[in-house]
Each structure stands twice: as C-alpha cells, then as structure tokens.
Amino acid sequence: MPKQSCNWCFTINNPSKVKTCGEKDKFKDLTFDTDEKVINFIMQYEEVNYYVFQRERGHNENTEHIQGFIQFKNRKRGTTLQNMFPPQFFHGEFANGTAQQASDYCKKSDTRIGEVQEWGELRVTKGGKQLTNEDILQRIKEGADDIRLLEEFPQLWNQIDRLQKVRDLYVFDKWRNVFRDVQVTYICGQSGTGKTRSVMEQYGYDKVYRITDYKHPFDSYHGQDVIVFEEFRNSLPIDNMLNYLDGYPLELPARYMNRIACFTKVYIISNWNFEEQYTAIQHKYYETWNAFVRRIDKIVTYKDGMIFEEIDLKSYKLKYNLDKDENLQP
C-alpha cells in the first residue's frame, strides 16, 4: 500500500454479482448491488469528509464497475484502509493529481450507467498536495484576514479552529521577542458621553479589542493593536495591570491557549475619576500606585459628548503632587 493520504480512489468490479467481500466477519456476505448499500457502508465512518462514485461500463469491455473517490478528514495509511474496507474497495490506489481532478474523473459522463452519488464538501488541493498549515501561514504573513482566507480556501469553514490556531502561533512567534512602545490613555466621564465611541470610531471596530469580562479578559484576544478596558473600577489586580501596561513581551492568560500581547495602544475607560482607582493601594502601597501612574501617558475627561479636559502625565503629577513621596492629595 502507498504512503499516507487523505484522498483515495476505489473501484468495485461486478458490484451486482459480488456476494462475499473478504474473509473478516464484518465483510462477510457484504454486497454492493445498490448505491444505497455503498453509501451506507462508506458513511459508517465518521472520518469521511467527502465521497463521490458512479456505476460505469467501459468502452472496450462490458464489465460493470463502480468508480469512486473518498476524501478523509485526516491522512490514512493503506494498511488502515485494509481494516476499514473490504479488498474489493481499495487496491492500493491513492489519488494522483488534485482532489478536484479525482472527483471530476469519478463523474465523467461517457461511461456512466447510473446516477452520480456525491456527499460532503471537497477540500481543494494545490498541485496534488493537501492544503497545509504552511499554506495558511504564508497567507497570514502576507496580511490576509480570516474572511479573505475563507474565500480562498472554502474548506476552512469547517476548520475555523485550525485557522485560528495557525494565526495565534504566528502572532506568538512574531511578538515573543519584541518590546512594544505602549501608549496608555485613561478616559473618564459620565455614561453616555461618548468615551467608548470615540475610540472605536478612531481606529475601526475590527481593530479594537474590548475587555468587558474581567473573569476571563483575554479569551477572545487575537492580536488586535488597540485594547480597551471597559467600565474599569479596580476591575483587575493592580499587579496584573502593571504587567499589561508595560511593553515587555507578555503572555496573556486565557483558557485553552494563552495569547501573546501585541497591542501598542491601551485605553482604560471608566465612570470613575483616575484618582478614585485603587484608593487602598494609594495609601498603603504608594510606590505600587506611583508605578501605575507612570504607565499612564494621558488622562482625558469627557463631558456632554466632548472632551472636557485632556492632561498629560507630567501635568497630572504636578496637579496631584505625585513627585513627592507621599500619599495622593488633590
């Protein structure tokens, strides 16, 4: 039998006359005199991704046979197929050329004597090779987003997890040794004053990752450059925030698979004024609070749907006397 492959062709000669297929009990008295029997046998295996077959009669001989093609979800060895299918099915023939060519060959009309039986969505191949993670990775490196990749490779609709895993691995490798110049802006103001909208419209909705679930904040993060900590009220431990707002390579905790920090712009949005955050830390661990303050580049206050005040860190420290080693006092 040949090497591993997802694509296998099969031929069943004289299917209406076969009474017994193989010596194994599961193949005993197995017949393929109807298309329904062929379909039922193939579909007992969940590993099947696609199949096509038809009954044919050759030009130079009058022998009836079934010409078919099966594509499995994963590569299989010939020895594996010997245990799954009777010997009349496979004769060590894996599909040469592309999967599309094999499928088309099993639907040719000149020798057909029955109906074409086809099921599943054929995975497109390139130059006789299966679509590999390397193919996906190359397009990701070229800047293709998920929608573009799904348009180019429709088979990935059933493999979204595979696509996302390749993208996450690429992003992880790209950013694990890079220091990021992170710009942090604190935005405060009453509800409905346009705080979040201003950020979303500035960068575009698809470029911004909003954190609203502080129990698992980074589960859905996939490399966005802009992060918004929404409705922030001491929502995460200050030690964690010191790491998130720094520029050193950082793995972000997430269920199933950690993410790598790629963002260079952070917005902390809250109804609270900045000095209302971490009040206990301010009085008990002043140096920790001051480290948090140093990571803030700008503080913006919204009022009536517009910026009421915008102040940089230097001005803020002067306003609140932060250069002195004492507790915050307005």
Q: What is the pLDDT along the chain (330 residues), one digit of tens a residue?
A: 446 778 888 888 888 765 545 455 566 667 788 999 999 999 999 889 999 999 998 766 677 889 999 998 887 888 888 888 877 676 545 556 678 888 888 999 888 998 999 999 887 655 445 567 777 788 888 878 888 888 777 777 777 777 888 888 888 888 999 999 999 999 999 888 889 999 999 999 989 999 999 999 999 998 899 999 999 999 999 999 999 999 999 999 998 889 999 999 999 999 999 989 999 999 899 899 999 999 999 999 988 777 777 888 777 767 766 555 444 443
Q: Do 291 and 264 reside in the same domain of the chain?
A: yes
Q: Do 187 and 314 reside in the same domain of the chain?
A: yes
Give the separation between CA 224 and CA 203, rounded to whole angstroms.
11
Give the separation between CA 49 and CA 5, rounded to whole angstroms.
13
pLDDT of residue 91: 56
pLDDT of residue 130: 58
Give a yes or no: residue 110 inside a domain: yes
The CA-atom distances, in angstroms, between 244 and each of 158, 212, 225 are 34, 16, 13
pLDDT of residue 327: 44
Q: Do 224 and 265 reside in the same domain of the chain?
A: yes
Q: Do 114 and 81 reside in the same domain of the chain?
A: yes
Give the bridge partners for 260, in sequence order.
251
One-letter amino acid of 230: E
Q: Do 167 and 193 reside in the same domain of the chain?
A: no
The model's pTM: 0.58
One-letter amino acid of 41: F
Q: Which domain holds residue 166?
A: 131-175
Q: Do 196 and 98 reside in the same domain of the chain?
A: no
**Residue 304, Ramachandran bin (φ over 0: left; ψ between -120 and 50: alpha; else beta):** left
Q: Do 86 and 207 reside in the same domain of the chain?
A: no
Q: Do 189 and 311 reside in the same domain of the chain?
A: yes
Give the separation between CA 15 and CA 88, rounded to whole angstroms.
9
For the chain, the domain total comes to 3
Give a yes or no: residue 149 inside a domain: yes
Q: Do 193 and 119 reside in the same domain of the chain?
A: no
Give a yes or no: residue 194 inside a domain: yes
pLDDT of residue 299: 93
